[in-house]
Amino acid sequence: MISRRQFVSRAGVLLAAACSNPAGRLVAQAAEQNGGPLISVDAARTTGSLPHFWETAAGSDRTVVGLRQQWREDLVRVHRETGIQSVRCHGLFNDEMGIAASGAGNFNFLYVDQIYDFMLDNGVRPFVELSFMPEAFATSANRIFAYKGNVSPPRNWQDWYDMVRAFTEHCVKRYGTTEVRRWKFEVWNEPNIDFWAGSQEQYFELYKQSALAVKKTDSEIQVGGPSTAQLDWIPELIEYCSANGVPIDFVSTHVYPNDPQKHIFGRDHLYSFEEVIPRGVAQVKHQVEASKMPHLPLWITEWSSQNPAFIADTIKNCIGLTEAMSYWTFSNVFEEGGVPNGIFNSSFGMLDQWGIARPALHAFVMLHKLGESLLQADSGPVLATRRVDSSIAILLWNLIAASEGGALANGNPTGATAGASGSKGLLKRFRLRLAGLEGKRTVKVSQVNGLRGTAIPRWREMDSPKYPSVEQIAELRNAAELPKPEVHRLGPDQAPEFSIEVPPNGLALLEFEH
């Protein structure tokens, strides 16, 4: 195992502390033999802005779980620590929400009010996904997931239109026009695969009816789609809207690192596992720019990984390509496959059952601490930024390629017990050459990796209990938290070079302050 790292301020170097077991010594020796890349950062030179586009939204299970206490606790923490601004949920119109369970014209907004009230009271906006089909409107019994969301087209388009309009009008009446204009209304979820039992032509009609209903309430409320899987249907929807005068304010789609490359790019194995998301997003960006509506904002409303280094690397490589990336999901209160199968299940979430933090949460916490201005830096696994208070935040990561460590450990979105803790590969030493640090007197060092910011090692020491006791849960919660940053003074004659060792698929944050 890799031991805790200590910062040696006198030498200006982050070095491995003495390891107490052979495995730790071997990893440290390998890093010594490999040396490490030199990355130069000029803290006095900015190269552009860094909008925190990854904080714009996060995903959730179906809407009704917003009534659960654990979901609510998770939402409050994720918003407070990562800056997430809105939440996107499936199943707004499922019968369990009651909105149209009694049929056309008999709408009930009790549950949606309770959920949206809570979100807004805690600083988070709804990202409204208009799905799925109320049973009273449905043309068939095509259903998806354990909660049986109906995915068929409506028998009567007017019923769908009236419901969407009534819902939108209710939101405006309850929360005000100014507030609702700041939301996004997205039509359906992944209609190009099993989430829609109709054709593409029928989806376009669904989109039109939805967009017209929203705009009838207020023309400035933002509506978009097609919310497709695997980056599909973007040129087609834009062409449809352009040709038919249908309003559209943004386009949205989804991409995961394990999506089929032949479908997305036309050829299998064209890119590495780590390149699929940024290459795919760039491809869709070019499709929008080549369309009749070249300035439409692009939203990636689903993507995921449980690997801190993969998360940081993906976000860096998507800078400038998209207005938003909505991580799927923030909470493990998630029942697409039914009731989760115990703790540390293979499902989505920045947090696990009982609100236990995963490394993914800590990755987003560190990303949130980055500044709003990019600094001049060499290429590589680094994001160097300046904050508004002039302090410097630098993020470094050691991403092990899936070809070396395996897809589960290196980005698979449901690898909850993999990610950093299941990683193969060598510890990496980074050498930093820093200029422009005038006036900075301290550096704070934080890391998340296979030993820090994860409860998995402690859970395994407990013999991996499926249903841990109350005492064990408290211990696991504590084990999952990051230790306080190590704070070190920089002397007046501090050398401008530092080095830091980052374990496989780990992430390190350096904060230079006055």
Q: Are the beta carbons of 27 and 451 closer than 8 angstroms?
A: no
Residue among 190, 205, 501, 511 flagged as catalytic: 190
Local structure of residue 356 (DSSP, 8 states): -
Using CA atoms, how far apart are residues 183 and 88, in angstroms rounded to an integer? Answer: 11
Nearest to 33 by CA among 426, 317, 374, 487: 426
190 is catalytic: yes
User: How many helices (H) and strands (E) are present in the chain, helices listed first?
Assistant: 14, 21
Using CA atoms, how far apart are residues 476 and 454, in angstroms rounded to an integer? Answer: 9
One-letter amino acid of 411? G
Q: Are the beta carbons of 414 and 346 closer than 8 angstroms?
A: yes
Tell me which H or E stretch contains 365. helix 359-368
Tell me which H or E stretch contains 238. helix 234-244
Local structure of residue 354 (DSSP, 8 states): G
Using CA atoms, how far apart are residues 465 and 342, in angstroms rounded to an integer? Answer: 9
Buried b or exposed e, range 273-297, using 16+ CB within 10 angstroms: bbbbbbbbbbebbebbeebeeeebe
Using CA atoms, how far apart are residues 146 and 338, in angstroms rounded to an integer? Answer: 5
302 is catalytic: yes
Residue among 129, 302, 501, 511 flagged as catalytic: 302
Find all residues with CB under 8 Å of 261, minimum gap 6, and list them.
267, 268, 269, 270, 271, 276
Q: Are the beta carbons of 274 and 399 closer than 8 angstroms?
A: yes
Output the CA angle 385-388-393, nearest 5 degrees: 30
Find all residues with CB under 8 Å of 175, minimum gap 6, and list them.
116, 120
Nearest to 79 by CA among 299, 303, 307, 350: 350
Tell me which H or E stretch contains 31. helix 22-34
Catalytic residue positions, numbered: 190, 302
